Chains A and B, each alone.
Chain A
Amino acid sequence: MRPSLLRIGPATAFWVVVALQVLGVLSFAAVKEVGFRIGREVVLATVPVDPRDLFRGDYVVLRYEVTRLEGCFLGVGSAVYVPLRERDGTWVASGPASASFETAVDRGDVVLKGQVSQRARTSCDVTYGIESYFVPEGTGRSIEGVRGKLKMRVVIDGLGNATIKELLLP
């Protein structure tokens, strides 16, 4: 049989897969951690959601002021970039959202990347990947009582991807 560099034994193949599993898990955590450390912190205000949906099991469902964007005509599934600027300690949309990162950069201090999840006639709903906040078991009900007054400290990396850092109770 001709020796080949690609021919590896079952034991080697097994350990290669285990190494890839570990690498995959660590990379996933590392990407989030790096974003956490080098990203810019902003505070986003939430808006009340249907109380039946706010707290499910061990996570809180969040909806932000920037979830519904007026004057947005992009299709469902499209990437959308929202320019943000600070106003009274909270970051708000500082101009119309855009399908282009470069265009959005000119309109605000920070750009938040999202995806259009639902469309109405002149507005659209956007998800940013920060709509779930995990809480210790049994503490969700106390958060439910202050829904609508919650603020979230969020870290946004250079590409507009956001990660929740902490929940700010009123």
Chain B
Amino acid sequence: MATESFETQLATEVAAWRREGVIDARAAARILGRYGHDVAELEREVQGAARGRSATIFGTAGALLVGLGVILFVASNWQTMERAARIAVLVGALALSAGLAFALRQSGHPRIGAALVFVNTLVFGANVFLIGQTYHVRVGDPLLFLLWALGAVPMALVSGSRPSMFIGLAALLAWYGSLIADWGAWRGPHPLVAPSFVGIGVLYLGCARLAESTRQGRPFALVMAMTGLSVSFITIGALTFEFVWRRVGESFFSRPSDVAPEFAWSVAAILVSAAVALVARAWRARWSRAAMLESGGLFALAAVTLLCTVFAPFDTAAAYAVLFNVIALAAVAWAIQMGLATGRESFINSGLALFAILVIARYFDFFGTLFDRSLAFVGAGILLIAGGYGLERSRKVLLARARAGGAADAP
């Protein structure tokens, strides 16, 4: 005889299968009917979730349009408007978006309210950049990105908005990118740029895992982890190109000292912070196998990138490119293994995305110059379609195995 807890669990699972489209309404009715459950209630819940998704999609699309509209309005009329009027319009839009977001959340419309919080974050960014433009602040001034991040991250924390957190994390990344540009690190670029960005990715990921263990931080763990993985993998992906290493080499050997000393200190600070976050994460997880595999993999990724760029063991750019192709493939295997071991779909998706990027990049590397351009594109198209088919098949299998594995990504 079925126990009450089994029936509750079954009802929850069936509701999830319906929402995800795994089974249709008839199958759900037949399964639940066997245990005397109210099928109509389940359908109401499924339709409610679908409406919620639609509300989120429409709300976010509307949010983007409103944000864009405010930016365009001020940008188009800034010459004719007085400085004070310009600032009044911008600050008014900021307060209005916050007020509407608050009112909607309070009146039981959390999804549209969340979309308005996102509008607030975008309008805050518009405020910063358009006021900067009003006073002709230099394009690429790091202060602008820092201010945006300082407005976005606290708003995300108090409202639980993941899109706002993503904007905040991206703005912090842009702040660091523009800061090191002022320090002369992008000319070349300097060899330490790569380890610094891999380090930032690892730091975001370590912080995501730490956030997961707190009630306030849990909603942001996934967006932090995905941003971190993306930053690290995109940097590793860039290092698989021979021409990148050629430029790094030219920069390193021609002007090794043409960069501010603050840059090296910033890289050291990032890497030490990332290492501390990884150790803290493993410690919080009681040195579990999964935590050690995750922390160890990330540590190895950052360490290899740092060692290769600091000690420059090879003479040719091609050797570095080959090495980083091997490292990137190892990163793919590690991410998929991590996804399977911990049930985190984000790892599997990131690993497969990096693999797809590697395949396309190497295709153009090797065949782009050999074939006629039209043939190269036709080949790339066929490769993409075949790759998409293969990825879809393998992704389904991997995700099913990951889900069966237990733990999942934080919501």
B98-A118 in contact (CB<8A): no
Taken together as a complex, chains A and B put the C-alpha atoms of A117 and B137 apart, in Å, by 17
Q: Which of A10, A11, A18, A77 is close to B184, meaning CB atoms less than 8 Å apart? A: A77
* CB of B259 within 8 Å of the partner chain: yes
Closest to A20 in B: B154
Taken together as a complex, chains A and B put the C-alpha atoms of A130 and B135 apart, in Å, by 9
Q: A26 with B87: in contact, given A77-B184, A119-B258 (CB under 8 Å)?
A: yes
**How many Å from the CB of A51 to the closest CB on chain B?**
18
Interface stretch among A83-91, A102-110, A132-140, A141-149? Answer: A132-140
**How many Å from the CB of B127 to the closest CB on chain A?**
5
* CB of A17 within 8 Å of the partner chain: yes
B261-A17 in contact (CB<8A): no
**How many Å from the CB of B144 to the closest CB on chain A?**
9
Closest to A33 in B: B83
Residues in B whose Cβ lies below 8 Å from that of A18 = 94-95, 98, 120, 155
Taken together as a complex, chains A and B put the C-alpha atoms of A28 and B147 apart, in Å, by 9
Closest to B121 in A: A21
Q: Which of A22, A36, A132, A134 is close to B91, meaning CB atoms less than 8 Å apart? A: A22
What is the 8 Å Cβ interface bit string for chain B, positions 261-275, against chain A (1 contact, 0 not)? 111000000000000
A22-B182 in contact (CB<8A): no
B182-A11 in contact (CB<8A): no
How many of chain A's residues have a CB under 8 angstroms from any CB in B?
40
What is the 8 Å Cβ interface bit string for chain A, positions 121-136, against chain B (1 contact, 0 not)? 0000001011111101
B87-A29 in contact (CB<8A): yes
* CB of B159 within 8 Å of the partner chain: yes
Residues in B whose Cβ lies below 8 Å from that of A115 = 182
A77-B94 in contact (CB<8A): no
Q: A14 with B94: in contact, given A59-B139, A76-B184, A77-B182 (CB under 8 Å)?
A: no
* CB of B9 within 8 Å of the partner chain: no
Among B176-234, those with CB < 8 Å from A are: 182-184, 187
Taken together as a complex, chains A and B put the C-alpha atoms of A129 and B135 apart, in Å, by 11
Which bucket holds chain B's interface residue count? 35 or more
A24-B147 in contact (CB<8A): yes
* CB of A164 within 8 Å of the partner chain: yes
Q: Which of A21, A132, A136 is close to B94, meaning CB atoms less than 8 Å apart? A: A21
Taken together as a complex, chains A and B put the C-alpha atoms of A137 and B261 apart, in Å, by 39
Taken together as a complex, chains A and B put the C-alpha atoms of A163 and B79 apart, in Å, by 17
Q: A25 with B184: in contact, given A17-B155, A78-B260, A132-B138 (CB under 8 Å)?
A: no
A132-B137 in contact (CB<8A): yes
A25-B183 in contact (CB<8A): no
Residues in A whose Cβ lies below 8 Å from that of B154 = 17, 20
B151-A24 in contact (CB<8A): yes
* CB of B357 within 8 Å of the partner chain: no
B127-A127 in contact (CB<8A): no
A24-B150 in contact (CB<8A): yes
Q: Which of B75, B106, B136, B182 is close to A164, meaning CB atoms less than 8 Å apart? A: B136
B79-A129 in contact (CB<8A): no
**How many Å from the CB of B214 to the closest CB on chain A?**
16
* CB of A68 within 8 Å of the partner chain: no
Residues in B whose Cβ lies below 8 Å from that of A29 = 83, 87, 131, 134-135
* CB of A13 within 8 Å of the partner chain: yes
A25-B128 in contact (CB<8A): yes
* CB of B47 within 8 Å of the partner chain: no
Residues in B whose Cβ lies below 8 Å from that of A28 = 128, 131-132, 147
A21-B135 in contact (CB<8A): no
B128-A75 in contact (CB<8A): no
Q: Could you give 30 example pairs across A and B, Cβ below 8 Å?
A: A11-B102, A13-B158, A14-B98, A18-B98, A20-B154, A21-B127, A22-B94, A25-B87, A25-B91, A26-B91, A28-B147, A29-B83, A29-B131, A29-B135, A32-B134, A36-B135, A59-B133, A76-B183, A77-B184, A77-B261, A117-B182, A117-B184, A118-B258, A127-B182, A130-B138, A134-B78, A136-B79, A163-B135, A164-B135, A164-B136
Residues of chain A having any CB pair with chain B under 8 Å? 10-11, 13-18, 20-22, 24-26, 28-29, 32-33, 36, 58-59, 75-78, 115, 117-119, 127, 129-134, 136-137, 163-164
Beyond contacts A28-B131, A29-B83, A131-B138: 15 other A-B pairs, Cβ-Cβ < 8 A, are A16-B158, A18-B155, A21-B120, A21-B151, A21-B155, A25-B90, A25-B128, A26-B91, A28-B128, A29-B131, A76-B260, A77-B183, A118-B258, A129-B138, A137-B76
